[in-house]
Amino acid sequence: MHPELSFGPFANSWKLIVGVACALTLPVMLYEARYRGLPARLVLRVWPCVLLGGFLGAHLYFILTHPRYLDSHPVRDFLDIFTGLSVQGCVIGGVGAVVLMLRLVDRPALPFLDMMAPAVALSQAIGRLGCLAAGCCYGKPFSLGVVYTDPLALAPLGVPLHPTQVYESVLCALLAWRLHSELKKPGQPPGRVLAFYLLGYAGIRFFVQFLRDDDAGHLVLGLAHSQYMAGAMALAGAWLLRRLRRAPEASG
């Protein structure tokens, strides 16, 4: 692994790969927008706010779930929203930014969130490869796993570990393809693809977390905070699907 693979303003391979993942969300969103009849101009206006909201949410969520983070980091890291990040916080922040922005322009949020879902899942798939390079989000010991030898890696050195980053990357890529296929189906009620994303990613994160070892010291009743959040995401997705299924009955 190469935590310090640098390119231009990107100080390490994690930032480089995450930067690529963020940049690719825009063309994917523009491509998917036609399936929800959304103008490209609207996507271009909202996309920067989605990124900013995502990073802000990811940083705040990480700080809240890792209260000792600042004990070993300078105070300026608290103000740097591009350090100390959590994927689930990114989802919360990104969704919040979309809802706020579209409310300001008097547009419904659900069609936009449907359109975003495949792009978000794909960006997560790519971003996890950055985690693999950096050694964060590492797995439990596994005889056939990946071994880190670079002192800059965040994972334990010289120990074969489950490549949990790869597991999640592959599963998120498959989820992105499934969401894209669902988005292409005509007559889908707004919010259905978003619900599938919430359910799909919740399942991925909940089960992959059992093979991760980076949160071993922060378990509550045997589960990591991300698994509780995954449960909340699954409940939100199930509630949304139930609401969509009952909507035709209420109108009829």
> CA-based angle 53:58:61, to the nearest 5?
120
How far is Cα 140 from Cα 182, in angstroms, rounded to an integer? 34
pLDDT in tens, 90-103: 999 999 999 999 99
Look at residue 145 and give its three-state secondary structure: strand
- Six-digit token string for 235: 């409940």
User: Could you count the other beta carbons within 10 Å of the beta carbon of residue 231?
Assistant: 14
Torsional sign, CA 41, 200, 206, 136:
negative
pLDDT confidence of residue 71: 63
pLDDT confidence of residue 70: 65
Beta bridge partners of 161: 141
- pLDDT at residue 16 tops 60: yes
Q: Against a cut of 0.95, is the pTM above it?
A: no
pLDDT confidence of residue 161: 94
pLDDT in tens, 106-143: 999 999 999 999 999 999 999 999 999 889 999 999 99
Asked if 205 and 88 touch (Cβ cutoff 8 Å), the reply is: yes
Sequence ranges of the domains in the chain: 13-247
Helix (H) or strand (E) holding 119: helix 110-134
Listed in sequence order, the residues at least 6 apart from 243 whose beta carbon sits closer than 8 Å to its beta carbon are 191
DSSP of 71-92, one letter per residue?
GSS-THHHH-TTSS--HHHHHH
pLDDT in tens, 46-77: 999 999 999 999 988 888 887 776 666 666 66
pLDDT confidence of residue 232: 96
Asked if 148 and 1 touch (Cβ cutoff 8 Å), the reply is: yes
pLDDT in tens, 178-237: 999 999 998 889 999 999 999 999 999 999 999 999 887 777 888 998 999 999 999 999
- pLDDT at residue 6 tops 50: no
